[in-house]
Amino acid sequence: MIKEKISKLSEMRKEAKLGGGKERIEKIHSANRLTARERIDLLVDKGSFEEFDMFKLHRCVDFGMENKKTLGDGIVTGHGTVDGRVVCLFSFDSTVLGGSLSKTISEKICKVMELAAKIGAPVIGLQDSGGARIQEGIESLAGYADIFLRNVMYSGVIPQISGMFGPCAGGAVYSPALTDFNIMVRGTSYMFITGPKVVQSVTGEQVSTEELGGAGIHNERSGVAHFGADNDQDAIEKIKRLLSFLPSNNMDDPPLIDCSDPADRKIPQLDTIVPDNPNQPYDMKEVIRTILDNNDFMEVQEGYAQNIIVGFGRLNGKTVGIVGNQPNVLAGVLDINASVKSARFVRFCDAFNIPIITFVDVPGFMPGTVQEYNGIIRHGAKLIYAYAEATVPKLTVITRKAYGGAYCVMSSKHMRGDINYAWPTAEISVMGPSGAVEIIFRKDIMNAPENERDAVKKQKEDEYTEKFANPYRAAAAGYVDDVIDPSSTRFRLIRALEMLETKHEKNPPKKHGNIPL
């Protein structure tokens, strides 16, 4: 009798594991994709996965749905470990009704999300879903709303990561949008509110899935995605690597890794990396990489708003969040996209106890009607807000230009920067010499005989450069703590970080602030 019962259980497990059936699984494999369960197997440590609700069923009885029931109902949920650390997860099974979301599926997701919050573990959602299950109507919408609520409640409490596989529509993209990071597979994953067919019927616009919401669009144009992956396997690897930098929750510190890279390693090439000509670009990524442990930098949103660089690395084994202006792209200017990209990153680091290191070479905010009409004022203000409210250790290195409002924003002393260093090549002032001279010496230039105007301008520019285009005015005011040899930057940062280990700073009590959204 018991034997039969056990063998029935085994049969039911087998059935559940087949999801929508062999044929559909083969279709997934022939598209060079993995199934929901294969993705989980790759993600978690071998043998560590514990599944929940394998036998849960949907309860819809409309449109013949009472005859279309699959054990587990199109999602696999549970917990496991990644590199020995507990994670909670859910993985949509697109072989069951296109991975569409039923009330049952949402209950399964909410269960693991609540568990994750209770135990303080990251939650990882592997999305492959056509959105709300149309046959369930309001029940399905209610299910999404339940998930959204939990996404928000646990935002800043546990890291939430979304892997995007296959076409994802409707709620299947809004929930990821509320999570901290989205990783999209190039060529097979799509994110859109509604698919191309609906787009055509509503707006008449003809667009392919790739053009509407492919990984290229969201990694380069919309800023919805944070990472692109070559295939399902690569996406899972990226999730694991990302997790390695993050604490499990907001009360935890990021993992400390044994570091073989000497803390006092000198980097002689940094002494010559800034060109003599202030208008000549250089690659801030080289500065960042060479300073970090083993030159290891995990860039976030690499293809989006490339005039600013954000990402994770380690200094002496400890996770740091990096923000750096990129002189190589648009001279490193702060525009709307760069401001929003970096503000969100700064807030993530602050929520999860990750010190922020800011490398500054910025000529200012981007001028012009396009930026003004689209709200550079309120979007730029987001970055001010993010830096000002952040209480994690904040270290700043001004490598060259720190002009105007952008000086204030980029983790300056006035934004509660803890340690602010400048290289001898730094130029800290209201604006660059050329622009400044045009304004304050315009009359002197205009009053000079026409053939001498260029010379007068040049002389005034030299005067201004001599006085202001250096770090010593700021150092004299105490706004930078020291002017350092570029080659010693790694060591100086590591020592500052160690000193700040016990930093404790609090903002005034409030319900929440009002960031200019």
- Taking the least distance from each CB to ligand HXC, the nearer of 199 and 388 is 199
Least distance (Å) between residue 256 CB and ligand HXC: 40
What lies within 8 Å, CB to CB, of 482 at 6+ separation is 421, 422, 475, 492
Number of H helices, E strands in the chain: 20, 17
- Taking the least distance from each CB to ligand HXC, the nearer of 73 and 418 is 73
364 is catalytic: no
Q: How far apart are CA 394 and CA 399, in angstroms?
A: 16
Asked if residue 100 binds ligand HXC (CB under 6 A), the reply is yes
Task: Mark residues 166-205: x for contact with ligand HXC by CB under 6 A, - for none.
Answer: -x-xxx--x-------------------xx--x-------
Asked if residue 133 binds ligand HXC (CB under 6 A), the reply is yes
Given the rule CB under 6 A, which of 130-138, 382-390, 420-428, 436-444 is the region that contacts ligand HXC?
A: 130-138
Asked if residue 57 binds ligand HXC (CB under 6 A), the reply is no
Least distance (Å) between residue 100 CB and ligand HXC: 3
- Taking the least distance from each CB to ligand HXC, the nearer of 175 and 326 is 175
Asked if residue 131 binds ligand HXC (CB under 6 A), the reply is yes
Please name every residue paired with 324 in a beta bridge, in sequence order, or none if there are none. Answer: 309, 359
Least distance (Å) between residue 74 CB and ligand HXC: 9
Give the largest CA-CA distance in the chain.
109
Burial 393-408 (b: 16+ CB within 10 A, else e): bbbbbbbbbbbbbbbe
Query: By the 8 A CB rule, do 170 and 134 touch?
Result: no
Report residue 143 as tokens.
């299910």
Q: How far apart are CA 182 and CA 167, in angstroms?
A: 14
- Taking the least distance from each CB to ligand HXC, the nearer of 132 and 246 is 132
Q: Which residues, 262 to 291, sit near ligand HXC by CB under 6 A?
A: none
Least distance (Å) between residue 226 CB and ligand HXC: 21
Please name every residue paired with 86 in a beta bridge, in sequence order, or none if there are none. Answer: 81
- Characterise 264 by phi-psi region: left (phi > 0), alpha (psi -120 to 50), beta (else): alpha
Least distance (Å) between residue 172 CB and ligand HXC: 6
- Taking the least distance from each CB to ligand HXC, the nearer of 140 and 301 is 140
- Taking the least distance from each CB to ligand HXC, the nearer of 141 and 430 is 141
321 is catalytic: no
Distances (CA, A) of 382 to 292, 387, 420: 27, 9, 21
Query: By the 8 A CB rule, do 390 and 348 touch?
Result: no
Q: How far apart are CA 335 and CA 319, in angstroms?
A: 27
SS3 357: strand
Q: State the residue for tokens 């000086």.
A: 407
Chain residue whose CB lies nearest ligand HXC: 170
Question: Which listed residue (120, 223, 405, 435) is catalytic?
Answer: 405
Q: Give CA 331 to chain center in angstroms.
A: 22
Given the rule CB under 6 A, which of 95-103, 333-341, 361-369, 482-490 is the region that contacts ligand HXC?
A: 95-103
Which of 25, 97, 274, 333 is the binder for ligand HXC (CB under 6 A)? 97
Burial 307-334 (b: 16+ CB within 10 A, else e): bbbbbbbbbbbbbbbbbbbbbbbbbbbb
- Taking the least distance from each CB to ligand HXC, the nearer of 209 and 233 is 209
Which of 61, 134, 446, 499 is the binder for ligand HXC (CB under 6 A)? 134
- Taking the least distance from each CB to ligand HXC, the nearer of 7 and 208 is 208
Question: Which listed residue (130, 170, 213, 332) is catalytic?
Answer: 170
Given the rule CB under 6 A, which of 32-40, 129-137, 295-303, 482-490 is the region that contacts ligand HXC?
A: 129-137
Q: How far apart are CA 244 and CA 37, in angstroms?
A: 22
- Taking the least distance from each CB to ligand HXC, the nearer of 167 and 247 is 167
170 is catalytic: yes
Given the rule CB under 6 A, which of 59-67, 133-141, 244-252, 418-426 is the region that contacts ligand HXC?
A: 133-141
Please name every residue paired with 110 in a beta bridge, in sequence order, or none if there are none. Answer: none
Q: How far apart are CA 34 and CA 233, in angstroms?
A: 8
Question: Which listed residue (74, 163, 171, 324) is catalytic?
Answer: 171
Question: Which listed residue (225, 390, 406, 474) is catalytic?
Answer: 406
Phi, psi of 161, deg, nearest 5: -125, 135
Query: CA torsion angle for 376, 380, 381, 387 (degrees, to 10)?
Result: 170
Least distance (Å) between residue 39 CB and ligand HXC: 17
Asked if residue 130 binds ligand HXC (CB under 6 A), the reply is yes
First to last CA, the chain: 63
Please name every residue paired with 169 in a beta bridge, in sequence order, or none if there are none. Answer: 192
- Site size for ligand HXC, by CB under 6 A? 19
Asked if residue 337 binds ligand HXC (CB under 6 A), the reply is no
311 is catalytic: no
Q: How far apart are CA 74 and CA 131, in angstroms?
A: 12
Binding residues vs ligand HXC (CB under 6 A)? 97-98, 100, 130-135, 141, 144, 167, 169-171, 174, 194-195, 198
Show which residues are catalytic. Answer: 170-171, 405-406
